[in-house]
Structure formats: C-alpha cells, structure tokens
Amino acid sequence: MYDYIIVGAGSAGCTLASRLSEDSQTSVLLLEAGGKDNEQKIHIPAAFSQLFKTSYDWEYYTEEEPGMVNRKMYWPRGKVLGGSSSINAMIYIRGHRHDYDSWREAGNEGWGYSDALPYFKKSENQERGPGEYHGVGGPLNVADLRYVNPLSRAFVAACLETGMPANDDFNGAVNEGAGIFQTTQKNGSRWSTVNAYLKPALSRPNLTVRPQTQVARIVIETGRAVGVALLVNGQVETVRARREVLLCGGAINSPQILMLSGVGPAEHLKEMGIEVIVDLPGVGENLQDHLAAGASYQSTQPVSLADVQKPANLLNYLFFKKGPFTSTIAEAGAFIKTRSDAPAPDIQYHFAPTFFKAHGFEPVEGHGFTIAPTLLHPSSRGSIRLRSNDPTAHAAIRANYFTTEEDVQVMLAGMKMAHEIAHTRAFAPFLGPESEPGSWKRSDSETIQAIRASAETLYHPVGTCKMGNDALAVVDTQLRVRGVDGLRVIDASIMPTVVGCNTNAPTIMIAEKAADLIKHPSTVKQAEEVA
C-alpha cells in the first residue's frame, strides 16, 4: 500500500512524484502506460517529430471533424516517461496574465496570475538569471536557443516591420510582440520533466515507478478512491492508496479513466455497460485545443533546416551539442490581437525555418519556411467519450474545430497577417513562391476552405475535467473530484479555458501548486485568504 498513487508519468505526474516524495515519510507510486525515455531521438531537440506514430506516442485520431472537411485528425500524445514533455517542441511559454485572471474571475479562487506566478518561478531555472518574473534553482531548465536560423531572425524583423513590438521575453511583463522562443533544454538537449523532476528523485526509497503499466480504473469504495486496478499480463491487479489517488493522464486519458471508473455522464456510462458511481456530466466535456494553419513559402536561399540531416550537423551536435540539431523547429513566434478590444492576444505565430506539413509526414522538396497562425482562444467546444468499457480502447475524440464563425474569422485574420509578414522587406531576400495553402490573393472563402483542408492540432488539448463551480465542473479549486473523496485530477484537463500559449509550462505550474495543496492545505488556504 502507498500513501499516494499517481496515474500518468507525464508533465504533471513527474512533477507531483518528485514534490510529494520529498517527504521521506510519504510513499508514492507513479504509474505510466508507456516505457522509459531511452530513445536517443527523445533527447535530440530537432528530432521530436520523428517520435510521432512510434511506440512513444498514443497516436490518437479524432472522429470526422465537420469543420475540417470531415478529416479524422491525428493527435500525438506522449506515451513514455515524461509524457508529452518527452516528445514536444520544448517551447517555454506561460501565457497571458488575463488567461489566469479569467479563471479566478469565473470563481476559481487561488488560480489568478498572481497565484500562478510563484509556482512558475518555483519550477524554473532561468539561465538568464532571476528577476521579478523568473526564478533560478528550480528543476525545469529554461534556456535560449543555441542555434537560431537566419530565416527566424528575418521573421522577427518582418513582424517589427508590420508594427509589432519586439519581445525578448514572452514570459515577462508583456506577452505581445515578436521574438525568439526560449526552450526547456539544457546544454543543447531536451530537458523533459523526467530530467527535471523524476530522475533526481529516483534514488528515494519512498518513490516507486512502474512504467509499461496500464490502468484499468480507479477503485472506489463507499464514495472514496482507495486504489487503482491495473492490467498486468491479462490479469487485473489492484494496488491501494492510504491517502489519495492522483489522476494525471491528460485531457484524453483522465476523463477516459474517470468514466471507466463509473464517474461521468450517467446515460453515457449506462450505454457503455458501466455502473454509475457518480453522475458527473462534465467529465469529457469542455474540450478545447489550439488549431494551427501554415502559410509556407519556398526560400530562394539554401539556408533553411532542409539540410539539417547533414553528417556535419550531426557530428556538431554529438560532440558539442550545437548547431541545427538543437533547433526546436518552431524557433520564433509572435502574439497579436486581431481585434483592438480583445483582452489578450488571440493569435500566436509559430515560425519554422522549414516546411512543416501534416506534422512532418508530408515532406516538401527544397528550402522553405512556414508561418503558422494559431487560434489561441477557440469558442468551439468538443468532447471525449468512451467507445467501449475496454480500458485499452482509444476514446472517441470530437474536437469540433472551426464550428463557430468567431473562430473562423480570427483564424482568417491571422492567415492574412501571415501573408503580410511574408511580403515585408525583411523577407525579400528569401521569399519565393507560396507552397501551402496557396491562399495568397485568394478570396476570403477560398482562404477559409484552404485552412479547413490543411490546418492541424498544435498539440494542446485541455479542459475535459474542468475546474469550477458550474454544472460542468469536475474538480473544485483544490482539484478534488466532485462526489469522490480521496481523488484529484491534476493535469491540463482541469483548465476551465485553454491558456493562450503552449501548454507544457502551465501544466507543470498546475502540478507544482497541486503538490502544495496536498502537502500544505492550510498554508495555501491562508495565503489565498490574504491575497
């Protein structure tokens, strides 16, 4: 028996396992369906997309998406120690102050920006040094890129030419503007939550880690979570928890496991042949994700990442941890408002000094670059549902992308600005013909149709076990599941609304705060009352 059982060793799970096991009197079991992070490509930054559709990826697909010409869209998610922090593009972004303040204004006390900032700083080792918005000495190393492609420099200059401000710190006082991203890397290699949190804790005798372990359901007795049922060699094994079960499976797996455990929309559970323990209609609802489209152009100069695989580049990386192999692919970006009255940016640009089509699975010959507007605050909502009561079956994902006119118009504005950026003086030395989606100088309707046919996920699903106090709320502000004692959800699924940025750093922040809520509930509560 363990004090705490953590389900899922991703960004949140590794963080929790480290923080909770700091107390030598507390026993922790960390469970992960995937294996160890011993594949070399995990640690080479520029190789991240080569991990897609491998054994390190859950390889999810949505149902047919009506707003995206009925495509079944591919969703990579990390199935490995470190979760998606082991296969992502390592961009370190926290989001806008308004993202968190809107959570607090919706009734989630203790989750405003001023509440979140101390946990961002606690987690961080900022290589630039400490400051009002940054911490040093934390587990998560945050570094400037060791390699920046000249096309990425041109992108930043082009954005400034259109009137955007320069921003060399998207995580400082101001979120808007254009600049080069910082990354979760150390010495030119990926710095996942395994490196940051888990490996330093593995020597602790009170922490047990079980990879390659599939969770079937949470065991709930008389209204309390008392353990976890596992599938081991075709048999069910139960491990029990003295204090709590902490569900850290992410926006797809966490609601799936809750529903398999009898916690969720009653009618749906009955249809799946699952006994209803708690009728909680919000489980699996409120799904949000960032949709990204790509405006791609050929480069007239051979300076892109098309030649990254050259032996000289590989040797430079292996011996010195420098050069193009340290690239995150999406090296630069910008945050803009498409409406002057927007409270925060509604478009984020990811700039890649290469072609990046269909997650990298459709290579384009030659040198080029991609300017990708990303829809930050979608008004459309999707859902996660069970296909069956088989815990090994993938859930049914309905993202409902592009099903509201508001989302369509914001993305259209973002694509138009992408073309304006491409046709500045800064890009003149590089700009060749457009490659994708071929919407320059088209009508609005043709551009929208091109986006529907080509846009993809930016890998940020959230919201399916939302925090709040309304009818669809699944957890309270302590991240406790409503109607079940001894059970919390701690991951990106608790976000009431998606933050306007890449979601890895915010997920780690959520876990850092949750660890304090668990270890020091009275202290956290007093701090919130003072604030």
Write the single-letter amino acid at 379: S
d(CA 369, CA 357) in angstroms, rounded, equals: 11
Q: Which of 301, 291, 292, 294 is nearest to 436 (CA)?
A: 294
Nearest to 318 by CA among 84, 43, 130: 43
Q: Alpha-carbon distance 113 to 303, whole Å? A: 40
Q: Are strands 456-457 and 396-398 parallel, antiparallel or unpaired?
A: unpaired
Terminal alpha carbon distance of the chain: 38
* 315 CA to centre of own chain: 31
CA distance 70 to 134: 43
The partner residues of 263 in beta bridges, in order of sequence, read: 278
Q: Are 288 and 381 in contact (CB under 8 A)?
A: yes
Distance CA(505)–CA(208), nearest Å, equals: 25
By C-alpha distance, which of 429, 30, 79, 401 is closest to 206?
30
Contact assessment for residue 396 and residue 262, using Cβ atoms and an 8 Å cutoff: no
Residue 437 C-beta-side C-alpha neighbours within 13 Å: 25
3-state SS, residue 29: strand
Dihedrals φ, ψ of 423, to 5°? Answer: -105, 30
Do β-strands 431-436 and 332-336 pair in parallel, antiparallel, or remain unpaired? unpaired
Of 98, 423, 460, 520, which one is the catalytic site residue? Answer: 460
Q: How far is Cα 154 from Cα 104, in angstroms, rounded to an integer?
A: 39
460 is catalytic: yes
* Measured distance CA(227)–CA(239) in Å, rounded: 5
Largest CA distance in the chain: 69
User: Residue 455 contacts by C-beta under 8 Å, 6 or more apart in sequence?
Assistant: 68, 291, 292, 293, 294, 401, 402, 411
Is 519 in contact with 488 (CB distance < 8 Å)? no
Class of residue 157 by CB neighbours under 10 A (exposed 0-12, middle 13-18, buried 19+): middle
What phi and psi, each to the nearest 5 degrees, are found at residue 508?
A: -65, -40
For the record, the structure tokens of 40 come out as 């070399």
Query: Which residues are annotated as catalytic?
Result: 460
